[in-house]
Chains A and B, each alone.
Chain A
Amino acid sequence: MSQDTATDDAVVEFQNRSSFSQKMQALLHKYPWMSSTMVLVVASIIFSFFNENFLTPSNFSLILQQVAIVGAVAAGQTLIILTAGIDLSCGAIAVFSSMTMAKLVQGTPGEGEPVGIAVWLAFPAGLLVGMLGGAINGFLVTKVKLPPFIVTLGTFNVFLALTLTLTKGTVPSIEMDPFLLTLGNYVNLGPFRVTTGVLFMFAMYMVLAFVLRYTSWGRHVYAVGDDIDAARLAGISVNRVLMSVYIVAGLTFALAAWIVIGRVTVASPNTGGDLNLDAITAVVIGGTSLFGGRGTIFGSLIGAIIVGVFRNGLTLAGVDLYYQLMAIGLLIIFAVSIDQWIRKARK
Chain B
Amino acid sequence: MSESPILQAVGLTKSYGRVIALDGSDLELFPGEVLAVVGDNGAGKSTMIKCLSGAEIPDEGQIILDGHQMSFKRPNDGRHAGIETVYQTLAVAPALDIASNLFLGREMRKSGPLGSVLRMIDSSGMRKAAKEHIAALGIGTIQNITQAVETLSGGQRQAVAVARAAAFGQKLIILDEPTAALGVRESRQVLKLIESLRERGMPVILISHNMPQVFEVADRIQIQRLGKRAAVVTPKTHAMNDVVAIMTGAMTVDKKDQSLSPIR
Contact = CB atoms under 8 A, between A and B. Distances in A.
B143 A4 contact: yes
B69 interface: no
A233 B34 CA distance: 23
A234 interface: yes
A56 B41 CA distance: 72
Contacts of B119: 215-217
Contacts of A294: 95
B94 A226 contact: yes
Interface residues of A, number: 26
B91 A229 contact: yes
Contacts of B4: none
B119 to A, nearest CB: 5
A121 B90 CA distance: 50
B118 A4 contact: no
| Highest count of chain B CB atoms <10 Å: which of A1, A214, A220, A236 | A214
Given A226-B93, A226-B94, A233-B87, A214 B118 contact: yes
A25 B87 CA distance: 33
Contacts of B106: 235
Interface in B85-137: 85, 87, 89-96, 100-101, 104-107, 109, 118-121, 123
A220 B151 contact: no
A219 B96 contact: yes
Interface string A255-297: 0000000000000000000000000000000000000011000
Contacts of B76: 235
A104 to B, nearest CB: 33
A55 interface: no
Given A214-B121, A293-B95, A223 B147 contact: no
Contacts of B210: none
Nearest to B90: A230
Interface in B50-95: 75-76, 79, 85, 87, 89-95
Nearest to B110: A214
B95 A219 contact: no
B15 interface: no
A222 interface: yes
B52 to A, nearest CB: 15
A234 B79 CA distance: 10
Contacts of B79: 235
**Chain B contact residues: helix, strand, loop or mixed:** loop
Interface range, B side: 20 to 34
B48 to A, nearest CB: 18
B252 interface: no
A320 interface: no
Contacts of A233: 85, 87, 89, 91
A234 B104 contact: yes
Contact of B95 (A5, A216, A222, A234): A222
Contacts of A210: 118
B144 interface: yes
B146 interface: yes
Contacts of B85: 233
A236 B150 CA distance: 20
A8 interface: yes
A219 B104 contact: yes
A145 interface: no
Contact of B100 (A5, A217, A219): A219
Contacts of B146: 1
A219 B123 CA distance: 11
Contact of B151 (A5, A231, A293): A5
A223 B143 contact: no
A168 interface: no
A9 B86 CA distance: 27
10 residue pairs, one from A and one from B, having the closest CB atoms:
A235-B105, A233-B91, A216-B107, A226-B93, A234-B104, A4-B144, A223-B93, A234-B105, A214-B120, A226-B95
Given A4-B147, A5-B151, A222-B95, 17 more contacts: A1-B146, A5-B147, A8-B144, A214-B123, A215-B119, A216-B107, A216-B121, A219-B100, A227-B93, A229-B89, A230-B92, A231-B104, A234-B93, A234-B164, A235-B105, A294-B95, A346-B151
30 contacts: A1-B146, A4-B143, A4-B144, A214-B118, A214-B123, A216-B119, A217-B119, A219-B100, A219-B107, A220-B105, A223-B93, A223-B100, A223-B104, A226-B95, A227-B92, A227-B93, A229-B89, A230-B93, A230-B104, A231-B104, A231-B105, A233-B85, A233-B87, A233-B91, A234-B93, A234-B105, A235-B75, A235-B79, A236-B104, A294-B95
